[in-house]
Amino acid sequence: MASAAERQRRTIQTAACLIIGDEVLGGKTVDTNSAYLAKWCFQLGLRLKKTEVVEDDEADIIDAVRRLSTNYDFVNSGGIGPTHDDITYQSIAKAFDLPLKLHNEAFDKMKRLSKPHPSQPNFNWEQDSPDLRAKLRMVYLPTDESRPLKDQFLFTSEELWVPVSVVNGNVHILPGIPRLFTALLDGIKPHIISRLVDPEGKGSHRVIIQTPFAESKVAGYLTELAARVEPKGIKVGSYPHWDRKYNTVTLVGKDEAFLESLVDEVVKNVEGKRVFKPEDIEGGPRRESKA
């Protein structure tokens, strides 16, 4: 089994996303972070192979994060906060047999950058209180004392006190709040670019072709096409827009020149036309279930 240090050095090809929170599974919150992560991975040429949602249950979190850390190169996990049900840090720490340690730099940044909430006008950083203990939950972080702290905690913005906590070399813990999630995720790009298969970070490319044909009519051709281009790293997709006039075919891969060489052939065989943005598809980009 690879060590944390080895995981943090190896080439990054695959990614997984772990969403933690009862509110997501209960339908109270719509998860937008996984969609942002999917686009982020696509732009960097990473294969996001799994998105998993678990409730605020320690055993479930431990099982999921161990499995994802073993099977994928880059793992994202979100959901931290000051209340009793914010158990991400403690669960992931337990998953890898790590203690929770006060991160002094994060605490100093928290004190300097946090603004007092109107409901806490007399809050005192130096005096023990339930409010202070709640805040401290967010700066007691999983810490491997055998490894350099700079490898485990990435501060990506001068305006944000919260670090990206990197556990077991490849599990990146971010806040679940979308504004913070996106800012910190974008901030760690410089830390991983050199480890990508394509270190220039050119990412993947997508071609969208709109067709008036039913999926069943083009299925035979697309099956043959997929088998032919898969060895070159190209994935062929078919997406229905039920009860609309058009469906879409997509070609995705890193070899842009080869992708472009396929366009005329696909357009001809599906009697379609190329579109450059999903919103340009006639009838709109909404995807429906197959009839």
Own/partner contacts of 22-26, CB < 8 Å, gap of 24 or more, are 22/55, 22/56, 22/85, 24/53, 25/53, 25/55
189 and 219 together in one domain: no
Question: Could you read off the pLDDT of 244-274 as tens digits, one per residue?
Answer: 678 899 998 888 899 999 999 999 999 999 9
- Position 243 scores a pLDDT of 66
Q: Is residue 287 part of a domain?
A: no
- Position 158 scores a pLDDT of 86
Q: Is residue 233 part of a domain?
A: yes
| 219: containing domain | 205-281
The per-residue pLDDT of the chain, averaged, comes to 88
How many domains, the chain? 2
Task: Output the CA–CA distances (angstroms, integers) from residue 116 to 21, 111, 112, 113, 175, in the order listed.
Answer: 26, 10, 11, 10, 19
Q: Are 83 and 134 in contact (CB under 8 A)?
A: yes
Q: Is residue 80 part of a domain?
A: yes
| CA angle (211, 213, 214) in 5-degree steps | 125
Tell me the one-letter amino acid at 197: V
105 and 249 together in one domain: no
CATH number for the domain harbouring residue 241: 3.30.70
190 and 62 together in one domain: yes
56 and 155 together in one domain: yes
Task: Output the CA–CA distances (angstroms, integers) from residue 134 to 55, 99, 178, 217, in the order listed.
Answer: 21, 18, 21, 59
247 and 105 together in one domain: no
Q: Is residue 200 part of a domain?
A: no
Tokens encoding 215: 């999926």
CATH number for the domain harbouring residue 92: 3.40.980.10
107 and 131 together in one domain: yes
Tell me the one-letter amino acid at 224: E
Kindly indicate the confidence band of residue 285, based on its pLDDT and cuts at 50, 70 and 90: very low
57 and 17 together in one domain: yes
Q: Is residue 128 part of a domain?
A: yes
